[in-house]
Amino acid sequence: MAPDQDPPHLTGADHPYLPHIGEILVTEEQIRNRVAELGVDITREYQGRPPLLVCVLKGAMMFVSDLSRAIDLPVEFDFMAVSSYGSATRSSGVVRIVKDLDIDLSGRDVILVEDIVDSGLTLSYLRRTLQAREPASFEVCSLLVRESTDVEAVGIRHVGFRVPDDFVIGYGLDVGERYRNLPYIAVYEGPEAH
Ligand code: IMP
Ligand code: MG
């Protein structure tokens, strides 16, 4: 590839993703702008007590990566992986920790970074489990929250975007492990993956 050429793009008529990618709900630019705003808010709120960002793998990986660079504080990271029983497009709320955190949460100012809060079942399990470890504070920052979800009731401090009930893909969110690398959030229009 010549040095002045753009790298190959994830678009094109014969791309295998395309038939299943529906309406773009959140563009790259909207993500960039909102992440910058969230970074400013968090920087202001956590002066003198840099937070520990707890990323819920794998969906929140893109978000935590960009969000952390928008926070002007010496943040730390940790990662956990959970698997929720259910189909590829519906969570059952029965959650199992597949990879636990390495860092002790006690006395820490924790921000749980999530990709999407739908029913809130996964979040309520994580909140219960992590708050039992006695952090100094515990807040939630979710890239996406359903329009039908009661943000106050579920207790989400920072919300990126509200999205309708359609199943969405991209910027970390998957169907059967694919589509995570789309740089935007789109509606998924393919068959249910198992
Ligand atoms: P909840 O327990 O119903 O709130 O579901 C939350 C989890 O289900 C998220 O962390 C995602 O992994 C997954 N999820 C829910 N809705 C979607 C979606 O539209 N696209 C991709 N993953 C989703
Ligand atoms: Mg998922």
Residues 34 and 90: their CA atoms lie apart, in Å, by 27
Please give the chain's pLDDT, 194 residues, in tens: 455 555 555 554 557 778 899 999 999 999 999 999 999 999 999 999 999 999 999 999 999 999 999 999 999 999 999 987 666 566 666 788 999 999 999 999 999 999 999 989 999 999 999 999 999 999 999 999 999 999 999 999 999 999 999 999 999 999 999 999 999 999 999 887 64
Residues 52 and 43: their CA atoms lie apart, in Å, by 13
Give the CATH number of the domain where residue 137 resides.
3.40.50.2020
Catalytic annotation, residues: 118
Ligand approaching nearest to the C-alpha of 118? 1
Q: Residues lining ligand 1, CB < 6 A?
A: 59, 91, 93, 114-123, 167-168, 173
Per-residue CA distances from 135 to 104, 122, 128, 130 (Å): 9, 19, 12, 8
In a domain, 180, yes or no: no
In a domain, 131, yes or no: yes
Q: Residue 1's pLDDT is what?
A: 46
In a domain, 190, yes or no: no
Nearest CA to ligand 1 atom 17: 167
Cα 59 to ligand 2 centroid, rounded to whole Å: 6
* For ligand 1, mutation pick of 173, 178, 179, 188 (most atoms within 8 Å of CB): 173
Per-residue CA distances from 144 to 33, 118, 179, 191 (Å): 14, 9, 16, 22
**Domain region containing 72:** 29-166
Ligand approaching nearest to the C-alpha of 89? 1
Domains in the chain, number:
1
In a domain, 21, yes or no: no
Supply the angle between the helices 61-69 and 28-45 in degrees, to the nearest 10: 60
Nearest CA to ligand 1 atom 8: 91
